[in-house]
Structure 1
Amino acid sequence: MLRDNTAAELKAIVGAGRYIDTPEALLAYSYDAFVQEAMPEAVILPETTAEVAAIMTIAHREGIPVTARGAGTSICGAPVPARKGIVLAFTRMDRIIAVNAPDRYCIVQPGVVNGDLQARLAKEGFFYPPDPGSFMVSTIGGNVAQNAGGPRCLKYGVTVDYVLSLEVVLASGEVIRFGSRNVKDVTGYRLSSLFCGSEGTLGIITEITLRVVPLPEATRTILAVYDDLDATAATVADIIGSGILPVALELMDKTVINAVEDSAGIGLPRHAEGLLLIEVDGVEEAVEKQMRTIVEKTRGHGATEVIEARTAAERDNLWTARRSAYGVFARLAPDCIVEDATVPVSHVPDMIRHIREIAGRYRLRIGILAHAGDGNMHPLIATDTRDKEEWQRVEAANREIFELAIQYNGTLSGEHGIGLAKIDYLPMAIDDATQAFMEKIKACVDPKGILNPGKFV
C-alpha cells in the first residue's frame, strides 16, 4: 500500500471513486495475456491529461513506479507492474476527439478501442490499417505503446507508420507534444517513432493523432488448402518474391486448424496440413489480376483446393477462423504461450520446419500460426506453467526458436513487444553498445526509473 498521505494526495486529484486499492480489485490489473503476474499497490483511472500530469508529479517526487495500461490484451507482460507501484488504467480516456476526412487524420485518447475507431471511420469511407488480433478490445494507446501490427500490416505497415503526433506526460509530470497533423513533417526529431513501441518506459501517452486512409474500392479473399505444410510455406515466399503485395497472407497448420474446428466448427478442412488465407485490395481491375496470379501460384505449389469468399459474410467467416485461433488454442491447456519471432520471408519455410522439429524434440504441442507474408511467426504453445518440468521444456524450445530467428537475420518480436516475456533474450538481438544507448535515453527522460520499470532497460 502507498503511504496514507500520498494516497490522499492522489485521491484528491481523481476522487475516491477512481482510486482503487482493494486487493480483489487490484487483482484484475495484475496480469495480461502472458503468464506472469504482479499486483500493483494502487490503480488510478484518469480522465484528463491534467490529471495524469498531477499524478506523475507526485509519483516522481516519491519515486513510485508507474505502469500505463490499456485493455490488458498484450501477450508479453508489458502492462504487468513488475515493481508494484501505480497502474494508470486509461479506460476512461476513450474519446474520439476528431475525425478529419479531408485532411486524412483522426485524434483520439489512448483508451479508444481499435474496433470502435474502425467503425467510426468506416462511416466516413476511411479506415485505420493496423489491426491486431485483439482489435475489437485493444486500445489505441496500448497499440501505440506496443507498436502493434496485425494481418493487414503486410501491405499497409504497422502502428508507427500512422502516428502523426503524440501528447505525452513525462515522468516528471511535464506535458510535451511532438509531431503535427501533416504526413510530411521533418521539423525536429521524429519522436513519435521513439515513443511508439517503447512500452510505456519513456512517457505516458494521453493523446494520439493518426493518419487514416480511404477504404479500398475492391477486396478479394481466398483460402488455399494444402496437404503439405512445406508447400504451404513455399507458396508464401513465391508470392512475396514475385512482387505481389497482398493485404494479408496468413498461415495456419493442422494443429491450429483442428483447434479452431473443435471450438468454432466453421467448416475448415480438418485433413489439411496447412491453410493460407490471402487477401488483396485496391482498384477492381488490379485486384482481379493479382488474385488470378496468386491462385495460379497456390495451385502451382500443390494447393488441393482454393476457396474464394463470394460475399462479405463468407469473407468474415474466413477471417473468424484466423482471428479466433489464439483464443481457441488457449482452451487446450491451462496456459498458452504465443511468440512472434520474425524472419525474412524467404526463411519462412525454414522456420516452420524447425519449429515442427523443435515441437517433436521437446514433446510439446505447438501450433503454427503466422503473418507469413511478412515473416512474423506465431508458434502457439499449449502448456501448464504449474508443471515445472514441462515449463523448462517450453523455455528451452522458445530459446531455440529465438536463436534460429536471429541466425536467419530476424528478430525477437515483430509486433507483440518484449515486456517480461522476452527480456532475458534481449541480448540476442541488441548488442552492449545499443543497450547502453537505450539506457542513456531512458535516463534522460526518466532519471528515477519510475516508468514501467523492469522492461527493456
Structure 2
Amino acid sequence: MIDAVRSPILGGSRIHVVPLPPQLVGDLRHALGDPYVVTEPEQLATYDCDGLTGWRAQPACVVLPGSGEEVQAVLRLCAREEVPFVARGAGTGLSGGALPVADGIVVSVARLNRILEIDLESERVIVEPGVANLDVTRAVSAAGYFYAPDPSSQQVCTIGGNLAENSGGAHCLKHGFTVNHVTGAKVVLPDGELLELGGASIDGDDGPDLLGVVVGSEGTLGIAVEITLRIVRQPELVVTRLVAFATVDAAGDAVSRVVAAGILPSAMEIMDRITIEAAEAAYAPGYPDGAGAVLLVELDGVAAQVEEDGVAVETHCREAGAFEVRTASDAAERALLWLGRKGAFAAMGRVSPDYYVQDGVVPRTKLPAVLRRIDELS
C-alpha cells in the first residue's frame, strides 16, 4: 500500500511505500556491501527531492555503487525485478531530475568521484560522474586551462548531473552548455549493458549522435559512469564590469543593445533589487546602494578585442541609463562580484523561507518588458 501525505508547499506529495522485496535488497547488499544500501526511512528522507523541493517522494531504497561494474550490477537487478531507478548526483537541480520514483531505487553516484585522467595535449579530462564541476577546473588551472560550463552550484553539483541536465551557467552565452564540452561517455543502460559513446576526439562516426541524445536526457536512458570532457585554454584577458541601473527595464534595454551590437560577452547576468539586497546581506560583494538593477558583464579573449568590446559595452550601458560602471580590479574582486550572483539562490532564504526558483526563457526583445512586470509583481 502507498500512503501519500499532502505537502504544504505547492501542493506536492510526500509518498511512503512498502519495502522492496527482501530478495532484491539482499542481492543489492551482496553486490555493494551493507553500508552502501540505505533502507532506513530517516536516511531515505535525505534523498526525497532535489533543489525543486515543492515535490517529494521517498524512495524505497538508495544505493551507492563505488564502480561502473557495481552500477551495472545494480541496474541488472532492477531490470530483473522490474523496479524503476533514478540516478542522483548532488541533488542541486531545479527541474526535479533527481526526484525519486516512490516505489523505486535511487542510484547515487557520490562515491564515483575520481578524476581518472588529465590529457593536456589533447585538452581532455576523463572523470567519474560524482566529480564536482569546479574540481575539474581546479585540477587543470595551474596548467592554464579551465572547464567552461559553470552552473551557480558548481562548487557542489556533479559532472554526472550536469550531463543529465545539459547544464550551462553564467558563461554559457559564449562558451556553450555541457553538450558542447562532452566528447565521450561510458553509459550503463537500463538492462545493465555498458555502452561506449564518443571518445577523446571531437570527430565522430557518420551515424546518429547518440552522445548528444544522452546529454540532457535526465538519466532516463542510463547512467554515465565515465565522462570525457573538453577543457579550454584560459583567455589572455578577462574583464568583469558591474553596471548599476535605476530600474530593471533600463538594465534589460542595455542587454538588448549589447547583443544587438554584435558583442558576445562570456557572461551577462541581471539581478533585480530584491536579489541585490539579499546577496549583499549574505556575501557583501559591494553592489551599489539604491540600485534597482545590477548587470554583471564579463568579457574574455584576446586582450585587444576585450578592451575594444569593453569600451563599446560601457557606451551602450550608459546610453541605456547606467549610473555607475565599475571594473573589477583583480581576480579576487571578480570572484566576489560573481559570488553575489551565484549565491543569490541561497541568499534568498534570508528574505523568505518559502520561495520558488525556476529558469525561464525570454526572447531578447521582450526582456525589458518581462523584467519590468516581474519587478511590479515583487
Q: TM-score, normalised by structure 1?
A: 0.77
Question: How far apart are the structure 2 equivalents of 1:277 and 1:246?
Answer: 10
Does residue 340 (structure 1) correspond to residue 359 (structure 2)? The answer is yes
Question: 1:320: how far off?
Answer: 1.2
- Secondary structure at 1:115 match in 2: helix
Question: How far apart are the structure 2 equivalents of 1:152 and 1:218?
Answer: 15
After superposition, residues 275-294 of structure 1 pair within 5 angstroms as 275-294=294-313
- Secondary structure at 1:58 match in 2: helix
Q: Specify the alignment match of 2:185 in structure 1.
A: 166
Q: 1:59-88 deviations in whole A, cap 9, x for unaligned?
A: 011111101000111112211103331111
Does residue 28 (structure 1) correspond to residue 46 (structure 2)? The answer is yes
Question: How far apart are the structure 2 equivalents of 1:128 and 1:265?
Answer: 27
Question: How far apart are the structure 2 equivalents of 1:123 and 1:187?
Answer: 37
Unaligned runs of 5+ in 2: 1-18
Question: How far apart are the structure 2 equivalents of 1:137 and 1:55?
Answer: 25
Question: How far apart are the structure 2 equivalents of 1:255 and 1:119?
Answer: 32
Question: 1:189: how far off?
Answer: 1.3
After superposition, residues 4-19 of structure 1 pair within 5 angstroms as 4-19=22-37
Question: How far apart are the structure 1 equivalents of 2:31 and 2:361?
Answer: 43
Question: 1:181: how far off?
Answer: 1.2
- Secondary structure at 1:134 match in 2: coil
Is the 1:218–1:283 Cα contact (8 Å) retained in structure 2? yes
Q: Specify the alignment match of 1:224 in structure 2.
A: 243
- Secondary structure at 1:336 match in 2: coil
Question: 1:354: how far off?
Answer: 3.3
Q: Specify the alignment match of 2:317 in structure 1.
A: 298
Q: Specify the alignment match of 1:261 in structure 2.
A: 280
Q: Specify the alignment match of 1:44 in structure 2.
A: 63
Q: 1:213-257 deviations in whole A, cap 9, x for unaligned?
A: 111111001101111221110000110111110010010111111
Is the 2:60–2:102 Cα contact (8 Å) retained in structure 1? no
- Secondary structure at 2:107 match in 1: strand
Q: 1:123-179 deviations in whole A, cap 9, x for unaligned?
A: 221111000000000000000001101001100000011111111111111111111
After superposition, residues 105-254 of structure 1 pair within 5 angstroms as 105-254=124-273
Q: Which of 79, 88, 109 is 1:69 aligned to?
A: 88
Is the 2:248–2:375 Cα contact (8 Å) retained in structure 1? no
Aligned residues: 359
Question: 1:265: how far off?
Answer: 2.9
Is the 1:179–1:190 Cα contact (8 Å) retained in structure 2? no
Taking only aligned residues, the RMSD between alpha carbons, in angstroms, comes to: 1.2
- Secondary structure at 2:356 match in 1: strand
Question: 1:211: how far off?
Answer: 1.1
Question: How far apart are the structure 1 equivalents of 2:312 and 2:51?
Answer: 39
- Secondary structure at 1:77 match in 2: coil
Question: 1:262: how far off?
Answer: 2.6
Q: 1:425-445 deviations in whole A, cap 9, x for unaligned?
A: xxxxxxxxxxxxxxxxxxxxx
Q: Specify the alignment match of 2:12 in structure 1.
A: none
- Secondary structure at 2:251 match in 1: helix
Q: TM-score, normalised by structure 2?
A: 0.92
Change (3 A) 1:290 1:234: same
- Secondary structure at 1:310 match in 2: coil
Question: How far apart are the structure 2 equivalents of 1:229 and 1:248?
Answer: 18
Is the 2:123–2:231 Cα contact (8 Å) retained in structure 1? yes
Instruction: Provide the identity percentage.
Output: 39
Moved more, 265-274 or 161-170: 265-274
Question: How far apart are the structure 2 equivalents of 1:229 and 1:59?
Answer: 50
Question: How far apart are the structure 1 equivalents of 2:366 and 2:98?
Answer: 32
Amino acid at match of 2:243: A
Amino acid at match of 2:120: A
Question: How far apart are the structure 2 equivalents of 1:324 and 1:286?
Answer: 30
Question: 1:5: how far off?
Answer: 1.1
Does residue 356 (structure 1) correspond to residue 375 (structure 2)? The answer is yes
Question: How far apart are the structure 2 equivalents of 1:104 and 1:31?
Answer: 36
Amino acid at match of 1:151: A
Is the 2:51–2:93 Cα contact (8 Å) retained in structure 1? yes
Question: How far apart are the structure 1 equivalents of 2:236 and 2:217?
Answer: 35
Question: How far apart are the structure 2 equivalents of 1:81 and 1:187?
Answer: 36
List 4+ stretches of structure 1 deviating above 4 A: none
Moved more, 247-256 or 258-267: 258-267
Question: How far apart are the structure 2 equivalents of 1:75 and 1:126?
Answer: 29
Question: 1:33: how far off?
Answer: 1.5
- Secondary structure at 1:341 match in 2: coil
Question: How far apart are the structure 2 equivalents of 1:302 and 1:356?
Answer: 17
